Structure 1
């Protein structure tokens, strides 16, 4: 259900997940409507900088020699995606880190995978984590779930996330929303208000798994978040 929220800026942080050039230039990994995802991430980043929120940028970069078992590789032995020698692993310049903002290099889905981010956020007094990025059902999903495990409340910014298709993205958001206990789903405009310490409208789950969607109504239910 939708409700009004207010979050103290001193208790919040922003996490941008894998907003890298390969998602708009590598035909294998193009994100649907990526330009809109980037544009909304820019707004979140501007709001976070204005409010002096701790901001973390993730980049998925794979060293095949240290990759997990069964990691997909090309015939020439490179990572099938996000290879460390590929210049397209660079974070998009519109949302590149600045100043003291932290860049997290990861070789797995979750931004929390190496066990560093969770304790750092808790040590800084962060209670709420705004999350945006790609891909919704993969690295965003894993990061959100691990943030919850770390005891953080998550605001999933739905229109600042994306995936390979609109359907993949919407279903990814709906799956997360169903179990986003203690957190919320918001659009960019309301997330920016929350980042700035103002009241904003967000969707919060009224109970366990309330969204019983189908292929026929998934878009309608996503729009209702």
Structure 2
């Protein structure tokens, strides 16, 4: 039973794109998060698990219009558009209007490993939506990030979301413990 569960996992990388990751406001523990995401990609590749990467886009004419420099995924992740499914979204929920749910269903995926940014927006919303769709979301506690806000430092936002989402919405794991 354990091996069947692992074969049905996919990795979803949320909004690890130039305009957010390398913008004027730096993400919390930026380099550690990128290293952990890259490790997840390597683990998924080794297990031949599907990799999905989503980037946030805005309307044509905006700084984040589809194809703009700010929407480009980080090259350090070495994603392969011939092998990995790369798609755009316009809302915090990576499932809304994207076809992600259908792709996962078509690949018989029932567990979705989630990493990326921003914790309090797209990561949180996507995890909750995945659970609502009957998937078992797995949030990688040390592979999602955000920026400090006027109200809370990023570290507190991340810790709060890890605690809030764990159990009710996601299974929480560390990068080192995330198998595919």
* Unmatched 5+ stretches in structure 2: 148-153
- CA 1:141–1:7 in 2, change beyond 3 Å: closer, same or farther? farther
Number of aligned residues: 172
Alignment partner of 1:114 is 2:89 = no
- CA 1:96–1:143 in 2, change beyond 3 Å: closer, same or farther? farther
Provide, for residues 49-102 of structure 1, a one-character-per-residue CA deviation record: whole Å limited to 9, x for no partner: 11110110011011157xxxxxxxxxxxx45xx344741221111114213100
* Unmatched 5+ stretches in structure 1: 66-77, 196-225
Contact 2:114 2:137 in 1 (8 A): yes
- Counterpart of 2:20? 23
State the alpha-carbon separation in 2 of the partners of residues 150 and 170 from structure 1.
Answer: 25
Provide, for residues 92-130 of structure 1, a one-character-per-residue CA deviation record: whole Å limited to 9, x for no partner: 111142131001101110110115111221221111111
State the alpha-carbon separation in 1 of the partners of residues 60 and 157 from structure 2.
Answer: 27
State the alpha-carbon separation in 1 of the partners of residues 155 and 124 from structure 2.
Answer: 16
- Counterpart of 1:185? 172
Alignment partner of 1:171 is 2:171 = no
Provide, for residues 108-164 of structure 1, a one-character-per-residue CA deviation record: whole Å limited to 9, x for no partner: 101101151112212211111111010111100111111111111111001010011
| 1:6 positional shift | 6.4
Contact 1:128 1:152 in 2 (8 A): yes
- Considering only aligned residues, what root-mean-square deviation do their CA atoms show, in Å? 2.0
Match of 1:45 among 41, 44, 64: 41
State the alpha-carbon separation in 2 of the partners of residues 152 and 112 from structure 1.
Answer: 12
Contact 1:22 1:30 in 2 (8 A): no
- Counterpart of 1:55? 51
- Counterpart of 2:135? 152
**TM-score normalized by the length of structure 2:** 0.87
Contact 1:11 1:125 in 2 (8 A): yes
